[in-house]
Chains A and B, each alone.
Chain A
Amino acid sequence: MSKDNQILEEFTSKEYEHGWSVDMEVDEAPPGLNEEIIKWISAKKEEPQWLLDWRLKAFKTWSEMTEPEWANVTYPKIDLQALRYYSAPKKSKKPKSLDEIDPELLQIYERLGISLNEQKKLQGIAVDAVLDSVSVGTTFKETLSKLGIIFCSFSEAVKEHPELVKQYLGSVVPMTDNYYAALNSAVFSDGSFCFIPAGVRCPMELSTYFRINAANTGQFERTLIVAEDSSYVSYLEGCTAPQRDENQLHAAVVEIYAAKNAEVKYSTVQNWFPGDKNGKGGIYNFVTKRGICAGDNSKISWTQVETGSAVTWKYPSCILKGDNSVGEFYSVAVTNNYQQADTGTKMIHIGKNTKSRIVSKGISAGKSQNSYRGQVQVMKRATNARNFSQCDSLLMGDRCGAHTFPYIDIQNSSAKVEHEATTSKIGEDQLFYCNQRGISTEDAVALIVNGYAKEVLNQLPMEFAVEAQKLLALTLEGSVG
Chain B
Amino acid sequence: MLSIKNLHASIEGTPILRGINLEVKPGEVHAIMGPNGSGKSTLASVLAGREEYEVTEGSVNFLGKDLLDLAPEDRAREGVFLAFQYPVEIPGVSSTNFLRTAVNQVREYRGLEPLDAVKFLSEMKEKMKLVEIDQKLLSRALNEGFSGGEKKRNEIFQMAMLEPKLAILDETDSGLDIDALRVVSNGVNKLKSNENATIVVTHYQRLLDYIVPDYVHVLYKGRIVKSGTKELALELEEKGYDWIKEEVDAAV
Contact = CB atoms under 8 A, between A and B. Distances in A.
Interface of A: 2-3, 427-430, 432-441, 443, 447-448, 450-455
A422 B175 CA distance: 29
Contacts of A454: 92-93
A101 B73 CA distance: 49
Contacts of B92: 450-455
A302 B51 CA distance: 42
Contacts of A438: 73, 76-77, 102-103, 105-106, 109, 162
B91 A451 contact: yes
Interface stretch (B81-89, B117-125, B199-207): B81-89
Contacts of B71: 435
A436 B88 contact: no
A395 to B, nearest CB: 15
B105 A440 contact: yes
11 contacts: A432-B51, A433-B90, A434-B98, A435-B71, A436-B73, A436-B76, A436-B84, A437-B162, A438-B77, A440-B73, A455-B92
Overall SS of chain B's interface: helix
A440 B71 CA distance: 9
A447 B93 contact: yes
B82 to A, nearest CB: 5
Given A429-B88, A447-B93, A451-B90, A436 B48 contact: yes
Contact of A452 (B49, B91, B101): B91
Q: Which of A3, A435, A443 has the most CB of B within 10 A?
A: A435
B48 A428 contact: no
A428 B51 contact: yes
Interface in B66-118: 71-73, 75-77, 81-82, 84, 87-88, 90-93, 97-99, 101-103, 105-106, 109
Given A435-B76, A438-B109, A447-B101, 14 more contacts: A428-B51, A429-B88, A435-B71, A435-B73, A437-B76, A438-B103, A438-B105, A438-B106, A439-B98, A441-B73, A443-B101, A448-B90, A448-B93, A451-B141
B65 interface: no
Contacts of B90: 430, 433-434, 447-448, 451
A121 to B, nearest CB: 25
Nearest to B79: A438
B101 A433 contact: no
B129 interface: no
A439 B88 contact: no
Nearest to A449: B92
A439 B71 CA distance: 11
Contacts of B48: 432, 436
A405 to B, nearest CB: 25
A38 B88 CA distance: 59
B72 A432 contact: yes
Contacts of A434: 73, 90, 98, 102
Nearest first, the 6 closest Cβ-Cβ pairs linking A and B are: A451-B92, A451-B93, A435-B72, A454-B92, A437-B102, A438-B76
Contacts of A451: 90-93, 141
A432 B91 contact: no
Nearest to A432: B50
A447 B105 contact: no
